[in-house]
Structure 1
C-alpha cells in the first residue's frame, strides 16, 4: 500500500506532539499524553478524521531512550510502519533553521519523513534477549560512573594533601559504596555472560569476537547490541563511522586544506570501550603490537596510529562476526 500520510511525533517524558504531513503540507496537529490510553485514543482519532488505514501511514520519531517505549509498544502491536531516526540526522537535514519548540519539532519530523520517503528505514525491533542485554549494559555503565565518582574524590584529596580528618571521612564512607559497586559489577558481568551463553546465536557471535586478544565480555556485548547482532550495518566502514574512528577529509579548493580528522558525531560508549581494547591488544596481540611499533618507526603520530588501530579492530570484529570465524593468530590480517 502506498504511503499517503507521514506522521511526525515529538516525544517528551509526559506528552507527545503529533503532526501529519501529506504532499509536503501539514494537514493536522495534535497533543496527547505519553501513556497507552492517550496514544490509543489519538491514533484512532487520526484515523477517523483522515479516514485512512495504518498501512497507508508512516510514524516517524526521534530515538529518545526510554520515553518512546509506550508509543513503540502500541504501534508494534498494531503492526504500524515505524521510522525511528537519530535526532541529529533530522536536525542537520533541516539546513539553516531558527527556533524550536515541541510543535515545530513534530512538524519538522513529519516533513523530514516526507522529503526522505524514498530512503525510508522502517524500524525492526531487536529480539527480546538483545533488549535485556542492552539494559544490563546500561546498568553496568551507571555503576562504573558511580565507582569513578568515589575514586576521583579520594584521589583528589590525597593528591592535594587535604586535611587528614576529611580524607579519613571520605575514605570511610566511600569504602562501603566502592565495595558494593565492585560486587554488583562482578555479579552483573557474570549475568551478562550467562545470558549470552543461554542463546546459541549470541554465544556464537560472542565467541568469535572474544577470540581476538584484547576484546573482552563488555566490548563484545556492546558490539552485539549496537549492531543488533550485526544486522544494522551493511559493512565494517559504516560501523567504524558510527564508532567515530574514521578520519574524514576537510578541504575546499586551494584555500582550505586540513589533515583528516575523526568526527565528533560518534557513539561515545563504544568508542571509549575500543580505546581500552586497543590498549590491551597492544600487550597481548602480536599483530597489533607489530603494527603500532612499525608505524611509530615510520614517524607517525601515536594518537593517529592509536585511532587507526581502533578502526582496524572494528573492521576485524565485523569481519569475524559476519564470516562466523574465530581469530587465527597465524593468519596475516590486513592491518599488518
Structure 2
C-alpha cells in the first residue's frame, strides 16, 4: 500500500511503471497494477544486466537494479528495450502455465519410461517383443504384478490370466497367458530384487503422470474452445498446440510484423557478416521461448503431411540441397508468418491463398 500511496499523487496517464519480467516473482504485483489501470513496462532481465555492465557497474543489488530499470525506461533509443503492458491478459497466463506443465510432465514421463526399459532389459529382455505396443493395460498389469521373468515363470497361470482381464472397449491382444509364461521360462533375464522394486515404482509413477496429463489436456481443450482461434483451422494443429502457441506469444498486438514472432520463437537463423565475409550456413538462434520452439517442431511434420502447400515447400527446400532439419526450419518460419496473418486479421486458414 506504500507504493500505491506514492503513485496516487500522480496522474495515471503520465505514469510508466517498470519491472523486470523475471520468472513468476512479478506476476502478483503486475496483476494488481493492471487491475487498477496502470501502464507497466516489462523489461527483459538481460537488458538491465547489459545496461549495468555498459555503465561499468560491478555491484549488483536491489536499490541499484531499481535505478538501472529507471535508466532503461528513460532510454531515448529508437527501439525501446521494453514492452508496454496495458491490458490484463491473465487468462493467457493460466494457459501458459498449463501448457508448460504439460511439456514438463511429458519430459518427466520420458525419463521414467527410459528408466523402466532399462530395468526390463535386465530382468525380462524378451518382454517387448511379445507386445505390439508398450505401456498398454496388459503390459502395465504384468509389470505391476510380477516385475520379472522369474516371477512370471514361477507363478500360477490363473494369476497371470488376471493380468489379461480388463473392462472397456478395444481390441484384445493376441498374446495369451500361456505364451507369456513359456517365454518367461526361457528368458535370459537375471533375477534382481532391486530392479523389480524399481519396475513397480516406475510403473506407478508413469500411470500417475498419465492421469495428470489427461486432466491437464481436458482443461487445455476447454481453454482452446473458449479462444476459438483461427489457427485451429490449420490442418495439423491441435487444441494443445494452438493453446501453447497463443499463450507463449501473448497478445498479438505486441508484434508489428511476422519477423518479430519468428525471432521470439528463436527459429531465425543467425546473420553473421564481417567485412567481405558473409556466413552462408548458420544455426537458428534458439533465443526466446523454448516451449514455443518445442511446440513448433512437434507440429511441423503433421502440418507438412496434412497440407499440400507445406509439402511442396518442404520438398522444394530438400531439392535445393537443404537437410531435413533445415527444411523443417524453413517450414516453421512459413507457418509463423501464416499464424501472424491469421491472428492479425482473424481470417481462417485457406491453402488456396498460399499457391
Q: TM-score range by the shorter chain?
A: 0.7 to 0.9
Q: Is 1:115–2:143 an aligned residue pair?
A: no
1:188: Cα distance to partner?
1.6
1:254: Cα distance to partner?
3.0
Alpha-carbon separation, structure 2, partners of 1:109 and 1:88: 11
The one-character-per-residue Cα deviations of 1:98-127 (angstroms, maximum 9, x if unpaired) are 532333222211111112487474312343
The one-character-per-residue Cα deviations of 1:150-201 (angstroms, maximum 9, x if unpaired) are 123224455688975343322211112211211221222122212332x3xx
Query: Which of 65, 89, 108 matches 1:105?
Result: 65
Q: SS at the partner of 1:80?
A: coil
Q: State TM-score, norm by structure 2.
A: 0.70
Alpha-carbon separation, structure 2, partners of 1:318 and 1:159: 47
1:272: Cα distance to partner?
0.9
- Structure showing the higher strand proportion among its residues: 1
| Structure 1 residue runs without a partner (length 5+) | 1-39
The equivalent of 1:271 in structure 2 is 293
Q: Is 1:231–2:270 an aligned residue pair?
A: no
Query: Are residues 127 and 58 of structure 1, via their aligned partners in 2, closer, same or farther at CA, if it must alter by over 3 Å?
Result: closer
Query: Which of 209, 213, 216 matches 1:185?
Result: 213
Q: Is 1:84–2:45 an aligned residue pair?
A: no
1:165-184 equivalences in 2 (<5 Å)? 165=192, 166-184=194-212
| Structure 2 residue runs without a partner (length 5+) | 126-188
The equivalent of 1:312 in structure 2 is 334
Alpha-carbon separation, structure 2, partners of 1:235 and 1:224: 16
Q: Assess if the C-alpha contact under 8 Å between 1:248 and 1:262 holds in 2.
A: yes
- Structure showing the higher helix proportion among its residues: 2
Larger Rg belongs to: 2
Query: Which of 318, 323, 329 matches 1:296?
Result: 318
Q: RMSD of the TM alignment (CA)? A: 3.0
Dislocated runs of 4+, deviation >6 Å:
159-163
Q: Is 1:146–2:85 an aligned residue pair?
A: no
Q: State TM-score, norm by structure 1.
A: 0.73
